[in-house]
């Protein structure tokens, strides 16, 4: 009778099977979480690139503003 109970459990026959099944379930559960994290990372990288572009544009404008008075001073002299 005890043999029939142990044979009715499909995981009891193969010790590797429960680990594989649990791993597959875990990976399926992690998939949406990983997609969310990747999308957040992409948004973060995009924001940094926009910030860097704005920063470079601001530096160029500041450089141009600082150069203009010196050019005017040279032409007046």
**Chain segment 12-71, per-residue pLDDT in tens:** 566 667 888 888 999 999 999 999 999 999 999 999 999 999 999 888 888 788 777 655
pLDDT > 70? residue 7: no
Contact present, 11 and 18 (Cβ < 8 Å): yes
Q: Which two structure tokens, joined as six digits, stand for 38? A: 């990747």
């Amino acid at each position: 009778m005890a043999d029939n109970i142990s044979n009715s459990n499909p995981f009891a026959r193969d010790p590797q099977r429960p680990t594989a099944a649990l791993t597959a379930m875990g990976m399926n559960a992690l998939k949406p979480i990983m997609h969310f994290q990747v999308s957040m990372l992409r948004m973060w990288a995009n924001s940094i690139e926009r910030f860097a572009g704005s920063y470079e544009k601001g530096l160029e404008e500041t450089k141009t503003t600082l150069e203009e008075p010196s050019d005017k001073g040279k032409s007046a002299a």
